[in-house]
Structure formats: C-alpha cells, structure tokens
Structure 1
Amino acid sequence: MSAIEPITLASQGPGVEFDAVGLTLGRTTILDQVSFKVRPGSVHALVGPNGGGKSSLIKTLLGQMPHHGRLNLHWAGAPGCIGYVPQALEFDRGLPMTVDDFMAAMCQRRPAFLGLSRHYAASIGQALERVGMQDKRKRRMGALSGGERQRVLLAQGLIPAPQLLVLDEPMSALDEAGIRIFEQLLLDWRTSGTTVLWIEHDLEAVKRLADHVTGLNRRILFDAPPEQALRPEALLQLFSTHPRSAAVTGSHA
C-alpha cells in the first residue's frame, strides 16, 4: 500500500495518556495538573482560549517542552510514526523554494537541492493531489496564499502515513474548498485507525467531526463527547475563566 493511500484498515494508532502534566516557566504556570486520555484511533479535539496552554501541551507531547507528570503513548504493537501539522509556516518568502522543494526537504533524507528522490516522488505527488495542490508544485512557497500554504502543510503531514497525528489549528487559514479537503482527510484518518489530536477554534467543526472534546484553560475544565462538552454553560466557563487563575497556586508548586 502507498504511504498515503486512504482507507484500507491500517494498524491502529496509539492511545495517549496525560497524567497530571504540569508546565511552569519562571513563576508562570502554563499547565496545571492536566490529566485526560485520547482513545486509540479516535479524533480528539482540544479547545480553549488563546493563552490557555493548548500549543504548550502539544509541545510536551512532541518532546519540545519540559514538564512534570507523566505522558504515555500506548501502542498496540511496535511504536509507529507520529505526524505534526503546525498552525503556520514561518519562512523568508523571498526564498526561491518551490512546493516540490519544500516537500522534498520535509519528506526525504536526500538534500532538497538534488530534487525529489524516486522513492518519494510518487507519494509526494499523491499527497499534493489529495490536498488540491498538484498543479502548483512548481510555484514558489512565498507566492502561495495562506490557505495554499496550509494545504501544503497538510500534504507533508501525510508522508509517511502517521499512526498518531497532531494538528495545531489546521483550519485557521483555509478557504471553503480547503476546509472541505481537510474534513475529508479527517474522515480518512478516522477510517484508517489513525489517532488524531486536533487543536481547533471552530467549535461547529469540532461538534460535527470530533469523537471527544477536552476543554483546556491552563487546567482541564471538561472532557466529554461533543454533545456534552460543547454545551453553552461549559463553553462560557471555559472562555470566561481567567487563564491565570490556575497559576496562583501552581506557581508555588
């Protein structure tokens, strides 16, 4: 099977367990005793206000931030591939880097200036086709719109096919066509058994597409299926609670 072909049943992704995870920078508590579980093969949304610790929690999962507590991945067999799609791509837009150059740099070990290797060329072409960017492979990354760059980021997240995929607000720059593509990808990942941890601000999309929702504002305020989690009273508490309220006691821990 090709690395990105959708939907024959793949090996199921891992369960993820956050157990009393804490993060303090200086005297500021970023995460306060965060505990929840992500079921294997599920689409799990993480919602909350800006500054509430969502991206920091993701960085602890990816090994980019120090933390207290335990963070465990429960694989059914041998550990598999973890993919990550960031919220945005920061780079010098004047660089003469094409979409193909970017995909080569992200997806293969061979230096990008040597072009696409035969091993990855087909997979990269298929990934770009799936996100509607096949006809813009020779365009400079700096000449793309924000939504087009986000589609390219989604494409690189498909290679190699991940068993655990972390998405940091992937819909933020997408237009309507891009959103439809993303929603189809999300359905494909669920069908293939990929575990998806998805930071998202579009609560309507979360309600339609997520299996489970965790509300985070420095600490966990709810952790439930969408129909329970996204009730008005729960959202009011999540977005009205001052994010530093959990830091008062945590800063002395």
Structure 2
Amino acid sequence: MTIQQTLTRQATGPSIEFAGVNLTLGRTTILDNVTFQVEPGSVHALVGPNGGGKSSLIKTLLGQTPHQGRLSLQWPGEPGVVGYVPQALEFDRGLPMTVDDFMGAMCQRRPAFLGLSKQYAGAIGEALERVGMQDKRKRRMGALSGGERQRVLLAQGLIPSPRLLVLDEPMSALDEAGIQVFGRLLQDWRHAGITVLWIEHDLEAVGRLADRVTGLNRRVLFDGAPRQTLTPERLLSLFSTHPRTNGSAA
C-alpha cells in the first residue's frame, strides 16, 4: 500500500483542491492560476518568498479574501472543525492577562474574567500539557518569551479538536525545545488523520516533516514530495523575484 493510500484510508480530515485560484488587488496580481491538491490526512507544506502569496492563499481558504477560481474541501463524512494558528500574536504586553485567561478568551464563550468553564478546563489543560506550557498557566502572556507565546498559540489551535489545521509559520519564534514539541504534534496529527496545511520558511524542517510540499511565488512552481522537489534549481527559481518557469513534480 502506498503512503497516499494509507493517508486516505485513515484520514479524518478533508482533502483540499485549489483549482485556478486567482487573486488581484488593484493592479497587483497576488495569486495567478494556483492549482494543486492537499491529500486528506497529510502534512502539506507551502513554501515561497515573502510576498509570494502564501498568506493570501490561506486567507482564501479561510473565507477572508474574495477570489476567482474554485476552492473545495471534501470531508470524509460530516464537515469538522477547522483550526488556525497565526504567525504571531500582537497585543499589549502590559495587560494583566495570564495564559489561562488567554486560552479562556480564545476557546470558550464565557467571559475570560469569570475563569475557565468546566466544559473547557480539561481540554485547555490537556492542550497546554501537549505544548509543554502546563506549568506556566498563571504567567502573564506579556512575560512569556516569543517561543512560549507561540506554544500557547499552538495550544489554542487544538481546541476544539480540529480535523483541518492551518498553520502560518508556527516555527518562526520557537526555540529548540519548542521545535521538538512541534515535531511531536505533527506526528500526532498525522497519526490522527488530521489534514495539515503548513506555511513554513524552514526548508530543512519541511524536508524532514512534510509529506508533500508546494512552492508558491504568485503561481505554483513545483508540487511534490520534499526530497524530489526541494532541489537547488527549483529553490533558486522559487525565490527569484520573477520566477522563470512554472512546473510541477509528482
């Protein structure tokens, strides 16, 4: 049985199809005929230069940006929860907001100042344990390091349990311990059949952790297994201001 067949058989997350997706803002082309598929239950990385359209493509998937073309999700059964972890968290570091306060505000309808509800307390504790932040629940968010705040963002993306998880450069502020935590989370998500679409600039991590990778610089320049696609020639074309070719690899 192939890896793709195994992923498909065990998947609880959806497949995603981008078919001729275009996005233009004013006279600027942000996405140009973007076409590729994300297999259900796979870890699919999206790489490319700053300004190449990666975050814009994510916004189209999350319904935040109007676009042309077709974007479809095929769920194995009833549609499930879509989780999202942003690249960074901007807030007033002087706010007296603890990690628990933040998790409560993000994960429950009850006002954060009333504390964690019994309905979510267990899930929040488990999520913080998974990212190694259980012992810092009473620390102020503003007192955490950038890597610790990124771990908290990863934790909030786990509640409620997602079946599609969209990650926007989740490793950008992580230290070595945090990177190991993230690697374990990816393995857990893969084993659970969750579909992960992951924007990442760390090409070494992509080559080591992703099932498939798409190179995007306004348009798709390559799409395939990391070992076959992350070649010096393709990466040179990808990170050029004006990509020379438009090709794909199986």
Q: Which runs of structure 1 show a deviation greater than 4 angstroms over 4 or more consecutive aligned residues?
A: none
Deviation at 1:161, TM superposition (A): 1.0
- Residues 1:110 and 2:125 aligned together: no
Distance in 1 separating the partners of 2:186 and 2:37: 20
Distance in 1 separating the partners of 2:123 and 2:12: 21
Partner residue, 2:6: none
Letter in 1 for 2:158: L
Q: Is the 8 A contact 1:164 1:195 kept in 2?
A: yes
Q: Is the 8 A contact 2:10 2:41 kept in 1?
A: no
- Note the aligned Cα RMSD (angstroms): 1.5
Say which structure, 1 or 2, has more relative contact order (CA 8 Å, 6+ apart).
Answer: 1
Deviation at 1:229, TM superposition (A): 1.0
Helix, strand or coil: the match of 1:240? coil
Query: Would the alpha carbon gap of residues 43 and 11 (structure 1) be closer, same or farther in structure 2, given more than 3 Å must change?
Result: closer
Gaps of 5+ in 1: 1-8, 247-253
Deviation at 1:38, TM superposition (A): 0.1
Distance in 2 separating the partners of 1:71 and 1:165: 16
Q: Is the 8 A contact 1:128 1:152 kept in 2?
A: yes
Distance in 2 separating the partners of 1:214 and 1:130: 28
Identity among equivalent positions (%) equals 79
Helix, strand or coil: the match of 2:126? helix
Partner residue, 2:60: 60
1:57-96 to structure 2, matched below 5 A, reads 57-96=57-96
Helix, strand or coil: the match of 1:17? strand
Distance in 2 separating the partners of 1:135 and 1:11: 33
Letter in 2 for 1:207: G
Q: How many residues align?
A: 237
1:1-253 to structure 2, matched below 5 A, reads 12-242=12-242
Deviation at 1:242, TM superposition (A): 2.4
Helix, strand or coil: the match of 1:59? helix
Task: Compute the TM-score of the two structures, normalised by the length of structure 2.
Answer: 0.92
Deviation at 1:169, TM superposition (A): 0.3
Deviation at 1:155, TM superposition (A): 0.4
Letter in 2 for 1:231: T
Helix, strand or coil: the match of 2:239? helix
Distance in 2 separating the partners of 1:229 and 1:117: 47
Deviation at 1:227, TM superposition (A): 1.0
Helix, strand or coil: the match of 2:78? coil
Distance in 2 separating the partners of 1:191 and 1:12: 10
Q: Is the 8 A contact 1:11 1:163 kept in 2?
A: no
Letter in 1 for 2:221: L
Letter in 2 for 1:81: V
Q: Per-residue displacement from partner, 1:49-108 (whole Å, max 9, x unpaired)?
A: 011000000000001111111100001101000000000001111111110000001111
Deviation at 1:111, TM superposition (A): 1.2
Letter in 1 for 2:186: L
Task: Compute the TM-score of the two structures, normalised by the length of structure 1.
Answer: 0.91
Letter in 2 for 1:50: N
Distance in 2 separating the partners of 1:112 and 1:68: 39
